[in-house]
Structure 1
Amino acid sequence: MQKIVTNIWYKDNTAEEAVEWYLTLFDDAKITSSIPYVEDAHGAVGDVMVVNFDLAGQSFTAINGDDSAKHDHAMSLLINCDSQAEVDRFWDAFLANGGTEIQCAWIADKWGVNWQVWPTEADQYVGGPDRDGAVRAVKAMYEMKKIDLQGLKDAYEGK
């Protein structure tokens, strides 16, 4: 069992819908269990209260709650991508399903959960050994919503 599990609160009984959609994004995703309401608290007895699931080897818990909790990008789920094509695939999927672009690789899904879709190669530009190049790459990143890896590389190299 994973010691620390990210717990995500969903309003309006949308936890199952969100989890089912997340399962379409990752090849190795699965629901590991669900827990029904056993008494009338925030949902009807027998309806799903909690969905436990795995994405890319990480365990998560989705809870059907009320609208008292709000998501923001101070806490996000980071997807490390191996290529621009992978960044594009995730980004386009979030947008097509009602997501909202934020800035600098952040995007909120239609449930308000914030994600960062990040090409790992970008680290060598925004954190590269050439300080001036890194500054240019970071400035370029600040102008982006979805990360353009070639744009970061060009900025780093002064092109």
Structure 2
Amino acid sequence: MSKISTSLWFDTQAEEAVNFYTSLIPNSKIKTVTRYGDENPDRSGQVMTIDFELDGQQYNALNGGPEFTFNEAASILVDCESQEEIDRLWAALSEGGEEGPCGWLKDKYGLSWQINSTLLMDYIVNGEPEAKLRAVQAMYKMSKLDNAVLKAAYEGE
């Protein structure tokens, strides 16, 4: 087990959210679930924490109450190899949530995600400056990333 993992604070929806996330991301699983005991009579028996993996990355979810909420200062970045993967994750994660610019969204639990294109990242890292600029400018006009539009912009079409 890794020494470092990301912890996500939920009000009461940790179990529902973790089941949703692990159903969407391949190579994901729930590892352990702990429950509140008699020391917290208002929550006795309810899920306290869940240790889980998303594609091998370690996470912890906590039902900690309403004191803290998510914001865009932290997000989960998913690098997608295909438009089909972008479309599938975007549709599932944005349902009941909020679409943002440039591949960002908030899911129905308020957690921010970046549904990223590996094609775009290749353009940004390895592309010629003018072509890279065209692709990035095209991205700025998007909510969900569209590989065909990014490719056309990169190629100057």
The question of a shared fold, defined as TM-score above 0.5 by the shorter chain, is answered with: yes
What RMSD in Å do the two structures reach over aligned CA positions? 1.5
Asked if the contact 1:10/1:66 (under 8 Å) is kept, the reply is yes
User: 1:46 Cα deviation (Å)?
Assistant: 2.0
Q: Which of residues 103, 106, 130 is equivalent to 2:104? A: 106
Q: Tell me the number of residue pairs that the alignment of Structure 1 and Structure 2 aligns.
A: 156
**Paired position in structure 2 for 1:37:** 36
1:55 aligns with 2:34: no
User: 1:134 Cα deviation (Å)?
Assistant: 1.2
Query: Which deviations, in whole Å up to 9, do the C-alpha atoms of 1:53-88 show, x marking residues without a partner?
Result: 111111110000222212122211111111111111
Separation (CA, whole Å) in 1 of partners of 2:127 and 2:26: 35
| Paired letter, 1:87 | I
Q: Which of residues 120, 123, 132 is equivalent to 1:122? A: 120
Separation (CA, whole Å) in 1 of partners of 2:122 and 2:32: 39
Separation (CA, whole Å) in 2 of partners of 1:137 and 1:60: 33
1:4 aligns with 2:11: no
More off after superposition, 25-34 vs 105-114:
25-34
**Paired position in structure 2 for 1:22:** 21
Asked if the contact 1:94/1:109 (under 8 Å) is kept, the reply is yes
User: 1:137 Cα deviation (Å)?
Assistant: 1.1
1:69 aligns with 2:57: no
Runs of 4+ aligned residues of structure 1 deviating over 2 Å after TM superposition are 124-129
State TM-score, norm by structure 1: 0.91
Identity %: 41
State TM-score, norm by structure 2: 0.92
1:34 aligned counterpart, secondary structure: strand
